[in-house]
Amino acid sequence: VLILPGFGIVSHICMSISNNDSSFGYYGLICAMASIVCLGSVVWAHHMFMVGLDYLTAIFFSSVTMIIGIPTGI
- Rounded to a whole number, what is the distance in angstroms from the first to the last CA of the chain? 15
How many other C-beta atoms can be found within 10 angstroms of the C-beta atom of residue 22?
A: 9
List the domain boundaries for the chain: 3-73
- pLDDT, tens digit, 9 for 90 and up, residues 18-54: 887 776 777 888 888 888 888 888 777 767 766 777 8
| Whole-Å CA distances, 29 to 12, 13, 50, 60, 63 | 12, 14, 35, 26, 23
- pTM for the predicted model, two decimal places: 0.60
Share of the chain above pLDDT 90, in %: 0
